Structure 1
Amino acid sequence: QKNSMLSRRFCDDGSLAVIFDIENEEDFAEKVMKSSIPVLVDFYADWCGPCKMLGPRIEAKVTNREGIVRLAKVNIDYAADVAMDYEVNVVPTVIAMKSGQVVARFEGVKADDELDDFIDSVIES
Structure 2
Amino acid sequence: MDNQRISDELEIARLLTTYARAVDTKDWELYRSVFTDDAHIDYSSAGAIVGSRDEVVDWFAVNFGVIPWSMHYITNIEIGQTDGDSATVRAMFYNPMQLPGMTEMSACGGYYHHELVRTPDGWRSRSLREENVWFTNAP
| Alignment TM-score, normalising by the size of structure 2 | 0.27
Q: Which has the higher contact order (CA 8 A, sep 6+)?
A: 1
Q: Which has the higher strand share?
A: 2
| Alignment TM-score, normalising by the size of structure 1 | 0.29
